Structure 1
Amino acid sequence: MTNGTRRCVLYARKSTDTEDKQILSIPAQLSALRDFAERGGLRIELELTEACSAREPGRPVFSKLLQDISAGRVERILCWKLDRLARNPVDGGSLIHLLGKGMLGEIVTPEGTYTGTGDSKFMLAVLFGAATKMTDDLSVSVKRGNREIHKSGRITGNPPLGYMKVRDRPGFRGAGKVVPDPDRFPLVRRIWRELLVGSTTVAEVWRKAASEWGLTTRPTRNRPSRPVSQSHIYQLLESRFYAGEIPRLGEVFPGEHEPMVTPEEFERVQRFIRHPNGPRPSEHKFVYRGLLHCGHCGGKVLTGERHTNRQGHVYVYYRCSRRRPGYPMCNAPAPSEEQVTSRILASLESIHLDERLHQWTLGAIDWWAEHEKQGIHAQVSALQRELAEVDSQLERADRMLVKGVLNEVSYAALRAEIVPRAEQLKAQLQDPVTGIEAWRSAIDEAVTFGAVAGSAFQGGSPEERRAILARLYENLVVTDRNVAPVLRFPYAVLDGD
């Protein structure tokens, strides 16, 4: 973008995520938007396309677009739907901010035009929040399906070193059967056996495995096989998968794969490698430890430090974890606990919504539901077709069992793969039906909780404060001792800042 002119930019995005299965492809979006622009008298001077998920901030083409808007080189954006622009509160908030400051004139979609007026910005906050909520709901459905897979004794993703996956039922997608890797299973089991004898160390076993036994990682499409590292040895020794168990979010399921050690042998190895002098618990409860993120270097965690002056007064600071030895040094100044608390209290004061705006918000959700009706029907139809196919697979499996084509073991294994998918589809079918009422309930709950959140936070214990923060905030970013809270949906809609 040059010549200093203000332009109308067409933005089209398609993600490879399942969230976008019912969204038009990029060529289809471009064709539809060109026709719309011609009918509406819009002049498209630049077309931007991107194949990237919008669940998290950081899309390169979109980020460049925001920079051009801030520099005054873009006057309006044309897109197929608002969720093509943003599916997370950070990107959505950036667009609303640019509209409010007058740096962006308008966002144009076939469904409507949004400007920097108060009503438009509030409507955008609701619609961007709804897009984020739909993504979150899909994530819940996927996690529910993954739990069923783990419950059946299988895993999602790649298995640990020493195992491999095979597709034991051609034609069916999903979690394959985990079987021993013939090249690596004996070597990894030898590591466990050597440590169970107790006459060696982890470092010595690693040296033997890498240099003498020839143990290497399993090659992938993007990464060739390479000698196993010492840290990899420690990771596999801490995995209960080798004892025939599948841990998942605090639950442990029995796996159908062949274990290398018994649970008792696993615990023996843990006692062998565990350092005898573990860290002592801290006397001070750092309220914000693990909740803050560094805005300078992107460090995920800011650790708490406790200092006492000569008068006995205790000061607590939160420093970037990359100030520790062995990490790239980050020189970001450390905020005090008082500074963090003050900024959070100011944020909590901003999420109060009076009754008039409360009712207006519910009306906005209803308006959005009416415009999304066609897309929701298409999504339901696609899910119903897939569910019908899954049900047909179950019926065929039943007939094959009756005819003797399948034995009971094969039949049970087949159902273990098909049934979780059927349950997942049924759960997703319920989401479009109940989603609107769920959003209404979420808004009602947010208004009620937002009115008392400040006082509850001030008078709460450290554990209660952490629970409030986890409920309200997507992220807490610290830059130059200033905290920038990012509220979750639907609380972001209530933010009066």
Structure 2
Amino acid sequence: METKMQEEKPKKEKSAAYARVSSKEQEETGYSLPAQEKLLRDYTDRAGFLLEKVFSIHESANGTIQRKIFHEMMRFVVKNKINIIVVETTDRLTRNFADVPTIDNWLLEDEAHQIHLVKEGCILHKNSKSHEWFMWRVKVATAEYYIRLLSENVKKGQKEKLAQGWLPTKPPLGYKTIGEKGHKTHVIDEVVAPIIQKMFKLYASNKYSVQKLTNVMYENGLRGRSGRRVYKSRIHKLLSNPFYYGTNQWKGKITPGEHEPIIAKELFMRVQEIMRHNTAPKYSRHNSLFKGVFDCEECGGKITWELQKGKWYGHCNHYRNCTQKVWIKQNEIDAKMADYVFEATPKDERVSRLLGWVQDALKEGHADEIGFRDKAIAELERQYQKSLQRLDQIYDDKIDGRITQEFYDRKYAQYKKEQEEVMDSLNRHKNANLKYFEMGIAVLDVAKRARDIYLNPNRTVEDKRTLLSFLFSNPTINNGNITISYRKPFDLIHNRLQELMTLEKTEKRTFEPPKKPTNKGKSTAFGDACPVMLRRQDSNLRPMRYT
């Protein structure tokens, strides 16, 4: 009886708390999330509320995430029939009028619904006085004004940063940020930059898909700033970022950058072309050596290769009403192509002599090109320094008030564009580094190593296919017969070698001594041993004339 007569303890009112930090400065000056949560827990304990859940938003969260968590809290409150929301101040709860109707509707639904603004000492509910509702609107308006002003200042700072040639955010992999706040710049990361360079060069070779490149770069040590693997989508974004050749991309616009480029613009544009046309190779389990190499001579279509009982066969697919019906074995084609490779690159001293001539000619032309290039670079550097002086001069004039802001902006855009054009030309001269000479060296290298590349069993199918595309132009098949033509450098080498071989046979036939010894016969003591070959001395001797 006594137990029944005891008064039941009143149930605690359920509540939810909402904490938010909007900047690192606030977190460092006592407004951290743990500090806010402690304040709200202490308040609910003193008030006798049962705190069901604390919703927290970190300073790094963007506006979309903040609103998502706010609406998540409101749904939680409605679902669990919670009447009290506890928050530190008005601007911690909301900073825009878009959320005000949601809060107002919830408060007006039930007289028990309350919002406790702890530091303001205010409790807002349905029956609050008019001046309390007015102050609530004023505080929301003030918070919204503050956030808009802050946004304008941030955008102004970003615009100024871009005008100075610096990206107003973290740079991509391959760069690092140095300097104090307000004076930060981006410099090359000596450890990661070479890996980024290799990534662009590999993709520009058109031998790698983005997925395969992702795996290769992971094996080469490419990691994100957190030390984790860089995945395919991130690799794709890095390959599309013009920051690497010296420009800044911000909100869809590209502006000149002051940072040092990692790659040349030509390499970046080559990568974009491959990505745009989706010409990166697709790898399959069955990969024929001559896939995509031969055309049908009759209809011009590609020869298709199929694996039948462990052997590769090539045939025309008759896309254009072609009459070709012959299927040819890959090993037969392989043997014939090997002969063509050997004809252009025979392994004897004739090749060494011929390639030596080519190398000497390249060196002579290289010396002339060096002089021309040095003069062009010197002139471009002079123009670049002149554009820098112009930019400095108009900036000083703007500071001193001698020119208007409009005039400054117009001339700045003009001089900056000129500077960018000069820099592009300068980079082309420096980065190209006499490409015709490098191509000549590449021809020499291929000519020397073609036999080894084609015969080496450890070489990949892609390596051999690349060699064939380098040596031959538009090879075709007609009824099982191959027709090939050498590309420009190698047709000269092939033709010259054929001439040398023909000349060598002719010399042997004309100047080689007879196999049988000459029958000299008997001769006098002072007679000629070979009277046919040696002329007798003239009996009418004449004095020798001096010249």
Whichever of the two has the greater Rg, that structure is 2
Whether the TM-score (by the shorter chain) exceeds 0.5 is: no
Give the TM-score band, short-chain normalised. 0.3 to 0.5
Query: RCO higher in 1 or 2 (8 Å CA, sep ≥ 6)?
Result: 1
Structure-2-length-normalised TM-score: 0.39
TM-score, structure 1 normalization: 0.42
